[in-house]
C-alpha cells in the first residue's frame, strides 16, 4: 500500500469514528455499546492490519508502538484522573504522532487507550469513543509534523505545544458528546432523542460551555506545558529511533528497491 493508500485508510477509519460521534445529532442516542465497541476496536484493528500488510508497520515499529503504549499506560495508571482534565498520557501520543506520522499516531493513541483501560480497569461503554478521540490526537499531531526532517528544533516544540493545547480542548469536546447523551435533566442543555440538528447543536454548545470548558482548560494547558518541558528530549529520542529504524530497513533492501517505510 502506498502512502496515499495509508492516508485513505486513515480517512476511512476517521469517517467511521465521526459517524459514531455524530449519531446523536441526527435523531438517535448513542449507538449500543456492543455496536460502538465493534466499530472502535474493529476499525483500529483494520488500520493496523493494512499498515502491516503495506510494510509501513514492520516488526520493529510494532514493537516500539507496544513499548510506547505500555509506558503511557503506566503513566496514566499513576495519575488516572489527573488535575481537572489533565493527563500525562497525551505527551507520548503527541510526540509519537509528530515524529512517525499520522497513521502511526492514530494507532499509538488508540492502542495506548486500550492498554491503559486494561491496566486501570477502565473498560466500559466510553472506551470506543476514547479510542477514536485519542487516535485523532496522534493523527493530527502527525499531520502537524508532516514533512519535518532531521533533529527536532525549538520550532517543533512550539508547534507541538500549540497543537497539544488545541487538541486538549478538541479531545474534551468530542468526548463530551458521549457524556451529553446521558444528561437529560435540563431542558436547555440536555439531550433528548428525536431533537432536530439545530437544537441538538445549540444544546450541546451550552452543555460544553457550562460543564467542560474550564475542565478541558487544565488538559489544554497541561499538554502545552508537558511539551514545552519534556518535548525536546522525547522528540529527539523518537527522531533518533526513527532514523535508526529507517537505516536498518535501507540496509536490508536490495539495491534499486525503494523503501516503503518512509513516511
pLDDT at residue 251, rounded to an integer: 47
Model pLDDT, residue 2: 60
DSSP class per residue in 57-75: S-HHHHHHHHHHHHHHHHH
| Calpha distance 201→207 (Å, rounded) | 10
Q: Are 102 and 146 in contact (CB under 8 A)?
A: yes
pLDDT under 70: residue ranges of the chain: 1-3, 28-29, 79-82, 247-263
Residues 192/180, Cβ–Cβ less than 8 Å: no
Q: Dihedral angle at the C-alpha atoms of 9, 11, 17, 21, nearest 10 degrees? A: -170
How do residues 36-86 score in pLDDT, each as one tens digit? 888 888 889 888 988 888 888 888 999 999 999 999 888 877 765 557 778
Give the cell for residue 201.
Answer: 447543536
| Sign of the alpha-carbon torsion through 144, 45, 59, 8 | negative
Residue 235 to residues 86, 139, 160, 163, 241, Cα–Cα distance (Å): 21, 16, 10, 14, 10
| Cα–Cα distance for residue pair 151/246, rounded to 1 Å | 15
- What pLDDT shows up at residue 196? 86
Query: What local confidence, expressed as pLDDT, does residue 231 receive?
Result: 95
Model pLDDT, residue 81: 55
Say if residues 20 and 36 touch (Cβ distance below 8 Å): yes
Residue 188 is predicted with a pLDDT of 80
Tell me which residue of 171, 190, 174, 177 sits closest to 24, measured CA to CA: 177
Amino acid at each position: 500500500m502506498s502512502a496515499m493508500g495509508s492516508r485513505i485508510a486513515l480517512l476511512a477509519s476517521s469517517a467511521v469514528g465521526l459517524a459514531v460521534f455524530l449519531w446523536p445529532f441526527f435523531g438517535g442516542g448513542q449507538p449500543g455499546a456492543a455496536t460502538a465497541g465493534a466499530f472502535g476496536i474493529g476499525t483500529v484493528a483494520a488500520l493496523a492490519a493494512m499498515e502491516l500488510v503495506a510494510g509501513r508497520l514492520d516488526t520493529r515499529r510494532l514493537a516500539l508502538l507496544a513499548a510506547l503504549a505500555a509506558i503511557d499506560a503506566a503513566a496514566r495508571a499513576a495519575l488516572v484522573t489527573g488535575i481537572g482534565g489533565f493527563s500525562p498520557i497525551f505527551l507520548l501520543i503527541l510526540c509519537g504522532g509528530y515524529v512517525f506520522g499520522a497513521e502511526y499516531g492514530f494507532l499509538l493513541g488508540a492502542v495506548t487507550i486500550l492498554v491503559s483501560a486494561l491496566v486501570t480497569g477502565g473498560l466500559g461503554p466510553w472506551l470506543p469513543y476514547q479510542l477514536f478521540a485519542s487516535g485523532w490526537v496522534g493523527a493530527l499531531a502527525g499531520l502537524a509534523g508532516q514533512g519535518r526532517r532531521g533533529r527536532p528544533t525549538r520550532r517543533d516544540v512550539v508547534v507541538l505545544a500549540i497543537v497539544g493545547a488545541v487538541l486538549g480542548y478538541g479531545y474534551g469536546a468530542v468526548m463530551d458528546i458521549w457524556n451529553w447523551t446521558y444528561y437529560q435533566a435540563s431542558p436547555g442543555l440536555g439531550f433528548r432523542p428525536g431533537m432536530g440538528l439545530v437544537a441538538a447543536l445549540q444544546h450541546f454548545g451550552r452543555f460544553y460551555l457550562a460543564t467542560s470548558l474550564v475542565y478541558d482548560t487544565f488538559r489544554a494547558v497541561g499538554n502545552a506545558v508537558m511539551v514545552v518541558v519534556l518535548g525536546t528530549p522525547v522528540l529527539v529520542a523518537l527522531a533518533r529511533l526513527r532514523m535508526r529504524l529507517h537505516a536498518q530497513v535501507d540496509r536490508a533492501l536490495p539495491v534499486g528497491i525503494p523503501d516503503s517505510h518512509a513516511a
